[in-house]
Amino acid sequence: MRKATLFLLTAVALLSAVQWREKLITDDPSHYYVMPLLTLDNQGYAHILYLDIYEDWDEDTAFYSLRMASNKTGRWVSEEVTQLSSEYSWFIDLDMPTPYDFDIDGKGNAYVTFFDFLTEEEPKLFLATDSSGSFVVDMLTDNDNIQVWPMLEIDKDDKVKLVYVEGVMEQEEPVGIYFCYGWFEDGVFYSQNVWNLGEDIEGYPMDMILGKDGYPFVFYTDDDYVLQRIYRSSSGWQQERLTDTTEGYMPSACIDPEGNLCFTYLTSEDEADIYFVRKDGADWRSELVADSIDFDWYLSSSLAFNPDSIAYLVWSHMNEDWYYDLYLGTRVDSGWVREQITNTPYTDEVFGTGHDFVIDGEGYGHITYMLCGDYSETMQIIYAKSKEPLKLEEGIVENPELIDEVDLAMRDGSVRFSLSEPGIVQLDLFDACGRRVARVTSGFYPAGEHSEPLNLQGLARGAYFLQLTACTRKVSTKFILTD
Residue by residue, pLDDT tens for the chain (483 residues) are 444 544 433 333 345 578 999 999 998 888 989 999 999 999 999 999 999 998 876 777 788 999 999 999 889 999 999 999 887 776 666 556 788 999 999 999 999 999 998 877 788 999 999 988 899 999 998 888 889 999 999 999 999 999 999 988 777 676 788 999 999 999 899 999 999 887 665 667 889 999 989 999 999 888 778 889 999 999 999 999 998 656 677 889 999 998 999 999 888 666 678 899 999 888 899 888 887 776 655 567 899 999 999 999 998 887 767 788 899 999 987 788 888 898 877 788 888 777 899 999 999 999 999 988 754 567 899 999 999 999 876 433 333 333 344 567 777 678 888 887 777 788 888 776 666 788 888 777 788 888 888 888 878 777 777 888 775 567 777 777 766
What distance in Å separates the CA atoms of residue 288 and residue 424, rounded to the nearest whole number?
9
Shared-domain flag, residues 379 and 400: no
Shared-domain flag, residues 319 and 456: no
* pLDDT value of position 9: 37
- Counting every residue, how long is the chain? 483
φ, ψ dihedrals at 237, nearest 5°? -75, 135
* pLDDT value of position 399: 37
Shared-domain flag, residues 352 and 470: no
Sign of CA dihedral 431, 436, 441, 443: positive
Shared-domain flag, residues 374 and 424: no
Q: Which amino acid appears at position 345 of this protein? A: P
Shared-domain flag, residues 274 and 399: no
Could you say which of 386, 403, 430 is where a domain stops?
386
* pLDDT value of position 16: 58
What distance in Å separates the CA atoms of residue 463 and residue 1, rounded to the nearest whole number?
17
Give how far the C-alpha of residue 104 lies from the chain's centroid of Cα atoms, to the nearest Å: 20
Say if strands 261-266 and 365-372 run parallel, antiparallel, or are unpaired. Answer: unpaired
What distance in Å separates the CA atoms of residue 429 and residue 441, rounded to the nearest whole number?
10
Shared-domain flag, residues 283 and 408: no
CATH number at residue 475: 2.60.40
Q: Which structural domain, as residue segments, surrounds residue 354? A: 20-386
Task: Give the chain's largest Cα–Cα span.
Answer: 89
> Which class for 97: exposed (0-12), middle (13-18), buried (19 or more C-beta within 10 A)?
buried
* pLDDT value of position 226: 85
What distance in Å separates the CA atoms of residue 225 and residue 418, rounded to the nearest whole number?
38
Could you say which of 365, 386, 407 is where a domain stops?
386
Shared-domain flag, residues 272 and 242: yes
Which distant-in-sequence residues (6+ apart) come within 8 Å of 40 by Cβ?
46, 47, 104, 358, 360, 366
Give how far the C-alpha of residue 281 lies from the chain's centroid of Cα atoms, to the nearest Å: 22
Residue 301: CB atoms within 10 A of its CB come to 28
CATH number at residue 137: 2.120.10.10
Q: What is the pTM of this model?
A: 0.78
Shared-domain flag, residues 133 and 235: yes
Which distant-in-sequence residues (6+ apart) come within 8 Å of 340 by Cβ?
325, 326, 327, 328
Shared-domain flag, residues 150 and 169: yes
What distance in Å separates the CA atoms of residue 200 and residue 224, rounded to the nearest whole number?
12
What residues are paired with 428 via a beta bridge?
439, 467
Q: How many domains does the chain have?
A: 2
* pLDDT value of position 397: 36
Say if strands 365-372 and 357-359 run parallel, antiparallel, or are unpaired. Answer: antiparallel
Could you say which of 386, 405, 423 is where a domain stops?
386
Shared-domain flag, residues 60 and 143: yes
Which helix (H) or strand (E) is 249 found in, with range? strand 249-255
HSE (side-chain half, CA atoms, 13 Å) at 263: 26
Shared-domain flag, residues 398 and 451: yes
Shared-domain flag, residues 206 and 123: yes
Nearest to 43, CA basis, from 102, 104, 98: 104
What residues are paired with 266 via a beta bridge?
249, 274
- Please tell me whether residue 233 adopts helix, strand or coil conformation: strand
